[in-house]
């Protein structure tokens, strides 16, 4: 028979601890409340056909911009993301109102 080495003992302890963790109960998942207010689409599949068309047009027009204009847009977007949620919502509502009046493009 082969003689057990110190490494074998460590491996045996590690295997026993691993096996013990498989038999312990799983802690219950913690659920948070669903956010209230308007929800933004999380994926392409969440968009309506008209929203998809608008998003694609916006993306295509962005891709055609010169690099300095893209950089400006990216910087403004990063600045907007740092705003408090209430300010973001307020600006989004204003933009939607203006878009509904035909004052801004897509």
Give the domain ranges of the chain. Answer: 66-106
> pTM of the entire structure?
0.47
Task: Report residue 32 as tokens.
Answer: 């948070």
Q: Which of 48-52, 64-68, 92-96, 99-103 is the least confident region?
A: 99-103
Residue 42 DSSP one-character state: -
Q: Which residues of 8-17 are buried (b: 16+ CB within 10 A; e: fewer)?
A: eeeeeeeeee
Q: Which of 29-43, 60-74, 88-102 is the least confident region?
A: 29-43
Q: Of 97 and 5, which is predicted with more confidence? A: 97
């Amino acid at each position: 028979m082969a003689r057990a080495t110190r490494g074998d003992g460590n491996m045996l302890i590690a295997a026993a601890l691993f096996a013990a963790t498989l038999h312990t109960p799983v802690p219950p998942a913690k659920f948070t409340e669903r956010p209230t207010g308007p929800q933004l689409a999380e994926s392409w599949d969440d968009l309506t056909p008209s929203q998809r068309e608008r998003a694609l047009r916006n993306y295509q027009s962005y891709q055609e911009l010169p690099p300095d204009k893209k950089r400006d847009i990216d910087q403004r977007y990063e600045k907007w993301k740092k705003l408090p949620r209430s300010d973001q919502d307020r600006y989004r509502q204003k933009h939607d109102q203006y878009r509904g009046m035909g004052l801004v493009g897509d």
